[in-house]
Amino acid sequence: MKSRRYGAFHTFLILAFSLLTVACSKTEPTPRGQGVAGQRVGSRPVVVFMTDFGAANDAVAICKAVMLGVAPDIRIMDITHQVTPFSIEEGARFLVGVTPYYPAGTVFVGVVDPGVGTNRKAVVVKSKKGQYFVVPDNGLVSPVIERDGLESAREIINTSWMIGDKISSTFHGRDIFSPVGAHLAAGWDYTLVGPEVQQLVRLTPKTATVTYKGVEGEVIALDDPFGSLITDISGEEFKNLGYQLGDRVTVLLNKKPFTAPYSKTFMDVPVGDPLLYVDSRGRVGLALNERSFSAVNKITPPAPIFIPKKGAPLGGK
């Protein structure tokens, strides 16, 4: 009799434990039934944040506080807040460079917005990679969409996703982009923000020009804080000119001749010496080993650059 009672009690314990395990494994339903694409079960959703606000004021901290107020469990990662003020092209370059390293479902909030307060649209853009972009419709996301494809874009007009009814005309980063980004990261359905946008504003960035004489391009940025020059000439365009590692290359830089060896990396030349190289993003750069090329040579973007074909005269442009 005792053994029967023990067996029944043992069976009851197993059943109770099983029911408790099932109950504990249940998760809270995601708001409005929309899950965060690409996120592992149990992982914290990610917002990746970029602005031209700088670090001299409280704007970035305020935007992050707004995001956390909407979605306390999100992780906020920074691309940079040092985009050259008003430079949509630079912000677009940073955004397209970073996005390949984040998974589907990541929410990017980008605020480089010289048109804030005007009739430019605020939008949520979903790429075919499944990433979301909360940005002004000014071309900031153009290079990403050209590479990854556009699934859909929506204009943000739903005030319930914003900070409140009183929207500032000069701080949409706080009032619109940050809370919308946090709602998306929390799993809300992006189609609720507003109507579909049929045509996004596209950037028309300058590109290098290839001729039978060489490649004509532009210094588009500095690799700060190092002061190396970044050009819009691709590594492939340069290699098609016939140069090999170790060759000395004479270019027209800001309309003046400049010579540097084509090198693989900085320490291939003595400290303080120049080199021409293909950078980690596949663009031609000019640098000084352990020095600032920009400061020493007094070159800042934009500046023209021409690289002739190997053996061609520099003046043949």
How does pLDDT run across 46-64, given as a tens digit for each residue? Answer: 999 999 999 999 999 999 9
Would the pLDDT of 34 be above 70? no
Beta-bridge partner residues of 253: 256, 305
Angle at 198 between CA 197 and CA 200, to 5 degrees: 75
Would the pLDDT of 13 be above 60? no
Would the pLDDT of 206 be above 90? no
Would the pLDDT of 27 be above 80? no
Burial class (CB in 10 A: 0-12, 13-18, 19+), 29: exposed
Q: Which domains occur in the chain, in start order?
A: 31-193 (3.40.50.10790), 209-316 (2.40.30.90)
Question: Could you tell me the pLDDT band of residue 316, with boundaries at 50, 70 and 90?
Answer: low
Mean pLDDT of the chain: 88
E strand or H helix that includes residue 222: strand 214-223
Question: Quick one: what percent of the chain has pLDDT higher than 70?
Answer: 85
Mean pLDDT for the stretch of residues 88-114: 97
pLDDT of residue 21: 34
Task: Quote the CA–CA distance of 241 and 219 in Å, as a whole number.
Answer: 18
